[in-house]
Amino acid sequence: MEGILLFLLSWPASAYKKMRNSLQFVWPGILCLMLLSFEYEVETKSTIEACNSSDSCPSLLSYLLPWDSKVSEIATRFHVNASDILASNSLFPITSSSAHQILRAKTFVKIPIFCSCVDGIRRSMSTVYTVRAADTAASISEGYGGLVSGEQIKILNSINGSNPLRNGGTIVIPLPCTCFNNVNNGGTAVYMSYVVQRRESLSSIAAKFGTTISDLKAVNGFSEPTVDPGDIISLPIAACSSATLKWYDESMIVPNGSYTLTASNCIKCSCQPMDITMRCVPSGLAVPCYNLRCKQSNLIIGSECVEHSETACNVIQCVYRGHRGGKILSSMKNSSYLQCPDNVCHRRPSCWPFSAYSEDPFGMSPKTSSSLPLPVSKASQKTSAFNGRLAPFLINVLQIFLFLKFILYFLI
């Protein structure tokens, strides 16, 4: 240190003047580099819902992928099922390779979670993270797309100088969520925690998710329609509910534009975006399923037919009613219209061919309908193929026999 001081004192006055003139141009750049070299966090806003009960509700997280990730990796990151992520983002069909599908960085993904009441506020505490050697609270926060800050991670897990992050240790990741009784403007809704991105405004977010600025202000308690990057707001997503569908001992809320699997993955129920109605159909997945056909009908769950009369158009549907003890429940629903709706499929004049079907213990008809294909065993396929080849063979034999008989008649 003394050597540096002696060296500086030996400089002539002209050298000091020249150095001062140079620093006035270089100093701003040095200052910027110094500021960028420090880690800092910008204080952001987050919508918090107070609560005093132990119930939970279905909720969503908006997750902007920080890097390329497989669906299975995202599922592990948030401690949810890969199939639930696929369903929330309306990715279908589900196959053995679906979980290995790679989603690219900056892809917007909806993560389904259950929102609980913890210490008087709504949040999800089910996500547990295993610390890696190079992890910091800030890097972990980045991996969760800004849904949680580094400071929140430190506070919840008591991370400090005497209790640092340890390689192989586990910490809880507190994730934001809201329920608001799953209601918005009198309709069923699921709330999604959304991280505001750069150059976004409340107006652009409202347009992106089909809502209004006034609705977002009311939900989030904003007095002014201003948001900053990193803010976490609650977005109401219109949803379909089974509450009014007379299901047996089953309750389901499905956000608009997504689906869910039920009845041991035999039934796929989706929320139609146009009219927010629940539609349940056979999933078509490779799982054993029974009772997919309504009793005494040629209709399977989710299908419909039409009966015309002189004064009305009757639309008859086979609808899902829940499941009990491994048995899928269904019933027929009859709706009358003065004029048939445009979306009705005109299949056949009658929907009730009682005489064609007999009762069976599974509620399925033993005779299949050509317009409603059901799984067919390999044995039945072989039998059908054999019968198909036998008929032309017999006809050829008969023709040869008649021809020979005709020849013998003239010869004799």
Could you identify the residue written with the tokens 């992050």? 165
Query: Peptide bond preceding 93: is omega within 30 degrees of 0, i.e. cis?
Result: yes
Q: What's residue 135's pLDDT?
A: 95
Print the domain residue range for 333. Answer: 257-337
SS3 of 275, please? coil
SS3 of 116, please? strand
Is 325 within a domain?
A: yes
Is 353 within a domain?
A: no
Looking at 295, 311, 337, the residue that finishes a domain is: 337
Is 193 within a domain?
A: yes
Q: What's residue 41's pLDDT?
A: 46
Is 398 within a domain?
A: no
- 197 Cα distance to chain centroid: 21
Is 197 within a domain?
A: yes
Q: Which two tokens stand for residue 137?
A: 């609270």
Phi then psi dihedrals of residue 151, to 5 deg: -65, -40
Q: Are residues 132 and 274 in the same domain?
A: no
Is 196 within a domain?
A: yes
Contacts 24+ apart (CB under 8 A), 373-376: 374/292, 374/300
Q: Are residues 60 and 120 in the same domain?
A: yes
Residue pair 301/294 in contact (Cβ under 8 Å)? The answer is yes
Q: Which spans in 258-298 are helix H?
A: none
Q: Are residues 99 and 232 in the same domain?
A: yes
Q: What is the pLDDT along the chain (412 residues), one digit of tens a residue?
A: 444 444 444 555 555 455 555 545 444 544 444 444 344 445 678 999 999 988 899 999 999 999 999 999 999 999 999 999 999 999 988 888 999 999 999 999 999 999 999 999 999 999 999 999 999 999 999 999 999 999 999 999 999 999 999 999 999 999 999 999 999 999 999 999 999 999 999 999 999 999 999 999 999 999 999 999 999 999 999 999 998 888 987 889 999 999 999 999 999 999 988 789 999 999 999 899 988 999 888 899 999 888 877 777 888 999 999 999 889 999 999 888 877 766 554 444 455 544 333 333 333 333 333 333 333 333 333 333 444 445 555 666 566 767 676 666 656 5
Q: Which spans in 51-163 are helix H?
A: 71-78, 82-88, 137-143, 150-157
- Helix or strand (DSSP H, E) at 388: helix 378-411
Is 217 within a domain?
A: yes
DSSP secondary structure string, 199-233?
A: T--HHHHHHHTT--HHHHHHHHT-SSS---TT-EE
Q: Are residues 266 and 220 in the same domain?
A: no
Q: Which two tokens stand for residue 324?
A: 């009990």
Q: Are residues 141 and 267 in the same domain?
A: no
Residue pair 8/1 in contact (Cβ under 8 Å)? The answer is no
Q: Are residues 330 and 212 in the same domain?
A: no
Q: Are residues 262 and 316 in the same domain?
A: yes
Q: Are residues 164 and 303 in the same domain?
A: no
d(CA 64, CA 45): 18
- Helix or strand (DSSP H, E) at 378: helix 378-411
Q: How many domains does the chain fold into? A: 2
Q: Are residues 51 and 192 in the same domain?
A: yes
Tell me the sheet residues that pair with 172: 128
Q: What's residue 369's pLDDT?
A: 32
d(CA 63, CA 106): 9
Q: Which two tokens stand for residue 172?
A: 């809880």
d(CA 392, CA 372): 27
Looking at 312, 337, 362, the residue that finishes a domain is: 337
Looking at 320, 337, 354, the residue that finishes a domain is: 337
d(CA 189, CA 179): 9
Stated pTM of the model: 0.73
Q: Are residues 212 and 333 in the same domain?
A: no
Is 192 within a domain?
A: yes
Phi-psi label, residue 363: left if phi above 0, alpha if psi -120 to 50, beta otherwise: left
Q: Are residues 209 and 294 in the same domain?
A: no
Q: Are residues 88 and 219 in the same domain?
A: yes
